[in-house]
């Protein structure tokens, strides 16, 4: 028994209580002792649990710390992988841009060749006309010198022959007047010829300026296409941009490995006017969609590309339609995904339509695809 309880029992035994009271108190003390024993057991078990829990907690904390470090290392590895993936994606996007720019080169060369031929031809003709003007001016100057010499000679002769008759003097003056009249008419003819040649030179220089500006515009378009898309929205002649890049895409295709003859129909709504665009980005949209259309029509018997622009109260629509084989239903929802391509080997990166879609979304627009056997329409919707 607990020593303290035993002392209490001894004190009770020495008291004058009745035996019955002592028995009751003894039973109560034994019950108390039993409860104390149970409590001590529970406390001992609780202490053991505490010690065990402390050990487990310490082990758990250590394990969590190890896991935290492992997660940190994993996060660093993932961050590095993400940066490498972004760098690879940027490189692929740049390669896609360079590929499209390379495809443009032949078309641009063809487009530049025409105005440069005009410039060279008109320059050659103008140089010949300038030579003619110089000859006419020299010839006229030579005639004037000769006439002045003849007049001086006549004056000397007239000074030495003052005794001539009146009738002879009158005849001479009439003949001189006739010769002077003929000389004046010849001078007027010379002046008219010079003015006509100068007028032709002016026309040629106007044509040279016109075609030189055309060549300059083509080069600017090429440079604009090669720059990054960090520009701002500016009012842009949408029809002009569409016409320009459909033409460049066509000539690029014609100069490529698999040229085809395509009937191109432009149905451009003149009411479209200027539209806020990042022109250097949106030009890639037209170029990529036209390139895809030409690729799709490679096996068509009578390839035809139809490009439309439309304006209504709510939106501006650009439609690029081809009569190729169409897009299978099972891949229509995949063609706008990055890196998805139906081209074999390394012919395509799968980024063309993905970049196109991103550019359109950056302009606040949408890109819809409608395709069936023998017809595919890519429809771009922009806010009006």
* pTM score, whole prediction: 0.53
Segment 272-325, tens digit of pLDDT: 999 999 888 898 899 889 988 998 898 888 999 999 999 998 899 999 999 999
Cα–Cα distance list, 251 to 186, 207, 245 (Å): 54, 24, 10
pLDDT-derived band at 332, boundaries 50, 70, 90? confident
pLDDT above 90 coverage of the chain, percent: 26
**CA pair distance 356, 336, nearest whole angstrom:** 8
Question: What whole-number distance in Å separates Cα of residue 368 and Cα of residue 132?
Answer: 62
| Residue 83 tokens, joined | 């940066």
Q: What is the mean pLDDT of residues 39-45?
A: 88
Per the model's pLDDT, the better-predicted residue between 153 and 373 turns out to be 373
Q: In which band, very low, low, confident or very high, does the pLDDT at 165 lie, cut at 50, 70 and 90?
A: very low
pLDDT for 140 equals: 64
Q: Which two tokens stand for residue 380?
A: 């771009």
Around Cβ 32, how many Cβ atoms within 10 Å? 14
| pLDDT value for 370 | 92
CB 133 within 8 A of CB 194: yes
pLDDT of residue 345 exceeding 50, the answer is: no
Please, are residues 251 and 102 in contact by the beta-carbon 8 Å criterion? no
Q: What residues contact 379, with CB distance under 8 A and at least 6 apart?
A: 317, 318, 319, 367, 368, 369, 370
Give 347-372 pLDDT, tens digit per residue: 555 667 888 888 899 899 999 999 99
pLDDT at 163: 43
Asked if residue 233 lies in contact with residue 277, where contact means CB atoms within 8 angstroms, the answer is yes
Given this model, what pLDDT does residue 177 score? 45
If pLDDT is split at 50, 70 and 90, which confidence band does 166 have? very low
Looking at per-residue confidence, does 277 or 34 come out higher?
277
Residue 322: predicted pLDDT: 94
Contacts for 376 with CB less than 8 Å, ≥ 6 apart: 293, 296, 321, 322, 324, 326, 327, 369, 370
Q: Residue 256: its pLDDT value, please?
A: 76
What's CA 3's distance to the chain center, in Å? Answer: 96
Which helix H or strand E contains 307, and what residues bound it? Answer: strand 304-311
Question: CA-to-CA distance for 23 and 301, rounded, in angstroms?
Answer: 120
Give residue-wise pLDDT tens across range 6-33: 777 777 777 777 778 778 877 887 888 7
Most confident region among 91-95, 141-145, 196-200 by mean pLDDT: 196-200
User: Which range has the top average pLDDT, 138-152, 199-213, 346-360?
Assistant: 199-213
> What pLDDT score does 39 carry?
87
Q: Could you say which of 3.40.109.10, 3.30.565.10, 3.90.650.10, 3.40.50.300 is the CATH number of the domain covering 232-383?
A: 3.30.565.10
pLDDT-derived band at 262 (thresholds 50, 70, 90) equals very high
Residue 38 in contact with residue 14, Cβ under 8 Å? Answer: no
């Amino acid at each position: 028994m607990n020593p303290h309880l035993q002392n209490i029992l001894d004190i009770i035994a020495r008291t004058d209580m009745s035996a019955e009271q002592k028995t009751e108190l003894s039973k109560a003390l034994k019950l108390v002792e039993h409860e104390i024993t149970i409590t001590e057991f529970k406390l001992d078990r609780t202490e053991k649990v505490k010690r065990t829990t402390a050990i487990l907690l310490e082990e758990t904390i250590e394990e969590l710390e190890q896991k935290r470090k492992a997660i940190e290392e994993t996060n660093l590895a993932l961050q590095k992988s993400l940066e490498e993936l972004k760098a690879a994606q940027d490189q692929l996007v740049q390669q896609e841009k360079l590929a499209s720019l390379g495809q443009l080169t032949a078309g641009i060369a063809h487009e530049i060749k025409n105005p440069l031929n005009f410039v060279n031809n008109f320059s050659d003709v103008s140089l010949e006309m300038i030579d003619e003007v110089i000859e006419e001016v020299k010839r006229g100057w030579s005639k004037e010198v000769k006439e002045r010499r003849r007049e001086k000679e006549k004056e000397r002769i007239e000074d030495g022959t003052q005794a001539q008759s009146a009738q002879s003097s009158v005849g001479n003056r009439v003949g001189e007047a006739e010769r002077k009249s003929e000389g004046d008419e010849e001078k007027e003819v010379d002046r008219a010829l010079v003015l006509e040649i100068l007028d032709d030179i002016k026309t040629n220089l106007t044509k040279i300026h016109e075609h030189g500006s055309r060549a300059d515009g083509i080069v600017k378009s090429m440079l604009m296409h090669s720059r990054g898309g960090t520009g701002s929205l500016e009012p842009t002649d949408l029809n002009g941009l569409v016409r320009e890049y459909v033409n460049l895409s066509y000539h690029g295709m014609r100069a490529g490995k698999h040229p085809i003859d395509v009937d191109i129909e432009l149905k451009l709504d003149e009411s479209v006017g200027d539209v806020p665009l990042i022109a250097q980005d949106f030009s890639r949209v037209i170029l990529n969609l036209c390139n895809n259309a030409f690729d799709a029509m490679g096996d068509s018997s009578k390839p035809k590309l139809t490009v439309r622009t439309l304006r209504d109260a709510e939106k501006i629509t650009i439609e690029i339609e081809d009569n190729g084989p169409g897009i299978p239903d099972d891949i229509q929802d995949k063609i706008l995904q990055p890196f998805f391509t139906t081209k074999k080997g390394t012919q395509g990166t799968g980024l063309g339509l993905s970049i196109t879609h991103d550019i359109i979304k950056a302009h606040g627009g949408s890109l819809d695809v409608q395709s069936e056997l023998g017809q595919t329409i890519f429809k771009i919707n922009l806010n009006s």
